[in-house]
Structure 1
Amino acid sequence: MNIYGASGHGKVVFDILSSRNIQVDSVFDDNTEIEEFLGFKVTHEPNEHQLKAPSILAIGNNTIRKQVARRFTGLIAEAVSHSSAILSKEIELGDGSVVMPGAIINAGSKIGKHCIINSGAVVEHDVRLENFVHIAPNAVLTGNVSVGEGTQVGTGASIIPGIKIGKWAAIGAGTVIIEDIPDFAVVVGNPGKIIKYLNE
């Protein structure tokens, strides 16, 4: 298994793999100033042999993760979860997604590709996450919530049942969402209020 991203997020992905006794073969990063990562020599231009092993894109920024996914020519690994995470057998996890320590994903949920379910987050039953979504630590998504591509749900945010959140939106830390949120909206507060829109 390869890790693409020699950063703090990459360290957590490394721990996830270690918890599952999955060996890390190589670490990639575009930043040529980073030469070493957790004892590995960082590769800036992976060769064909390295790219034959599956890779996790360990990049916390949703936009950059999508950009890298578009141009990456290697194999993408199946989703991985920390051994302490609680996952129903009745869920779908897209390739490249990662589930951090203590996270919970309950029955009927469908998680897209390259998503991050961060430490202690709760994804309740029948939730739908599109590709490149990041659910931050201790956020809670209750039943039947849907979240569009690339949206960031901040630390400790709470979303009541049945809410639909658009693509590439940003939900602030501690925000409580009680109504649907459109694409590109930035939302903060309790209850959540839209304060601006991001550029598409």
Structure 2
Amino acid sequence: MAITKILILGNGPELRRVLSVLESDPEKECVGCVFWKVSDPSNEAIDPSLGMHFWRGTAETLQELIAAQSAKVAIAISSAQERWKALSLLNSLSIIPEVLISEGASVDDNVIIGAGSVIHQGVILEEGVRIGHGCLLLPGSRMGVGSRCGDACIMESGSQVEDMGRLGDEVHLGTRTVVLSERIVGPRSLILPGSIVTSDVESGVIVSGTPASVIESSTFSE
């Protein structure tokens, strides 16, 4: 059985979750981590239990590290905006990131998952789902029949997109949020935890409540 070597590009709590996915997959081996956004890994003690020997370098040296390790790259970043930046970097280097799917996820027929996406334990992807590049679906999230999400989306634990719902690029769904059937959430919008989206959401806003309504006009400063 051929083993795929993986370098993890990331930081923070998502790095530990991605490690768990890799450890449960006999066909993949983590050969180290590449720190995202910090020039010196020793300045940021993300997880002391990993040991500093586990850090191979930073994003600036990613291409050289991949060549030296004969490895592929997985993304372990918890911010939609930062995942988008990581995708842009990888694209500029002609690097296609790995898809990671936990053995505890449920994936129906006719599902398409874009490069660099990570699907964690307990995630449910129903028939005809389409997931863009670099998305992160945390444990217990669900996408209903025929639903879609763009690139670099994040679905927190327990969040749901019901049948034929749509998420634009860089959308972040908070814990236990629900996007009702056929609703559209515009790019770069943030849905706060526990919200229920009953109508379409414009681009770049923060929404909250049941039903969800706009509480801030833009998720990004000019």
2:108 aligned with 1:75: no
In structure 1, which of residues 162, 168, 176 is the aligned counterpart of residue 210 of structure 2? 176
Determine the C-alpha separation between the residues in 1 that align with 2:46 and 2:216: 41
Distance 2:189 2:25 in 1: 28
Q: Which residue of 2 aligns with 1:61?
A: 79
CA contact (8 A) 1:16 1:101 kept: no
Structure 1 CA distance for aligned equivalents of residues 72 and 185 of structure 2 = 27
Match of 1:4 in 2: 9
- Structure 1, unpaired ranges of 5+: 179-191
Paired position in structure 1 for 2:163: 125
State the match for 1:41 in structure 2.
55
Deviation at 1:96, TM superposition (A): 1.6
Alignment of 1:181-200 (within 5 A): 192-197=213-218, 199-200=221-222
CA shift at 1:18, angstroms? 4.3
Against the structure 1 CA distance between its residues 195 and 147, is the aligned structure 2 distance closer, same or farther, given a 3 Å change threshold?
A: closer
Partners of 1:17 and 1:82 within 8 A in 2: no
**Whose helix fraction is larger, Structure 1's or Structure 2's?**
2
State the SS of the aligned residue for 1:64: helix
Q: Which residue number in structure 1 is paired with residue 111 of structure 2? A: none
2:102 matched residue in structure 1: none
Alpha-carbon distance in 1 for matches of 2:77, 2:153: 10
* Other-structure match for 2:108: none
**1:50 equivalent in structure 2:** 66
Counterpart of 2:210, as a letter, is V
User: How many corresponding residue pairs?
Assistant: 183
Indicate the SS of the match to 2:82: helix
Give secondary structure in 1 for the equivalent of 2:33: strand
List gaps (5 residues or longer) in structure 2. 1-5, 99-114
Across the aligned residues of Structure 1 and Structure 2, the Cα RMSD in angstroms comes to 2.6
| Equivalent-residue separation in structure 1 for 2:45 and 2:62 (angstroms) | 14
SS in 2 for 1:176: coil
Kept in 2, the 8 Å contact 1:16–1:81? The answer is no
